[in-house]
Amino acid sequence: MTEDARDEVDRLVAAWRTERPDLDVEPLQVLSRVSRLAKHLDRARRAAFAEHDLEPWEFDVLTALRRAGKPYELSPGALLRATLVTSGTMTNRIDRLAQAGHVRRRPDPEDRRGVLVSLTETGLARVDAAFSDLLRREHDLLSGLGPTDQRALASLLRTLLAPFDSP
């Protein structure tokens, strides 16, 4: 490996190997890079959302509705499951998104006690623009890898994450 190809993790691993030769520091080769990449992704996400006047939590709720397909509508319970927050948190988020004009509530015709939350035209336009911007930034983050390497990396990461995502 040339000095140009070395990154901060290589330097970190080398230092730990010198200081703690008794430890196997190989996990740092992968997980420190994943952690560092996650920080860059978080910055890219926050920048994309801020450019469209959205907070990360707003984007999460709006994209859950958008992924539901027309009429871009879910129950609050389905939104809870999609965004992994508590019911109190979701109620607050729906209230704030409704006040901003991004979502509306309507009675659930199949459950008189329930409501459905749907995207407004404003919410749909906002989430679509933010998502397009996010994807552009994510493509930039991955620009150092060709399509074959991206698919291989995705497959390896899927293998690592699958046990955490199972019920």
Instruction: Name which of 134, 106, 110, 107 is nearest 120 in CA terms.
Output: 106
pLDDT at 111: 86
CATH assignment at residue 69: 1.10.10.10
Mean pLDDT for 60-89 is 93
Co-location of 34 and 72 in the same domain: no
- If asked whether residues 47 and 60 sit together in one domain, one would say no
Q: Name residue 85's amino acid.
A: V
Q: Return left, alpha or beta for 116; rule: phi > 0 is left, psi -120 to 50 is alpha, else beta.
A: beta
Task: Report if residue 65 sits inside a domain.
Answer: yes
Residue 4 pLDDT grade (very low, low, confident, very high; cuts 50, 70, 90): low
- pLDDT over 70 percentage in the chain: 97
Range of the domain at 16: 1-51
**Alpha-carbon span 134 to 47, nearest angstrom:** 8
- Cβ-proximal residues to 8 (8 Å cutoff; 6+ apart), any chain: 36
Helix (H) or strand (E) holding 2: none
Instruction: Please name the helix (run of DSSP H) or strand (run of DSSP E) that holds residue 103, with its range, or none.
Output: strand 103-108
* 73 and 43 within one domain: no
Query: Do 94 and 27 share a domain, yes or no?
Result: no
Q: What is the pLDDT of residue 6?
A: 86
The pLDDT tens digits of the residues spanning 25-48 come to 999 999 999 999 999 999 999 999
What gap in Å lies between CA 46 and CA 156, rounded to an integer? 26
CA 69 vs. chain centroid, Å, equals: 19
97 and 134 co-located in one domain: yes
Q: Is residue 6 part of a domain?
A: yes
pLDDT digit string (tens) for 105-125? Answer: 999 998 888 899 999 999 999
The structural domain count of the chain equals 2
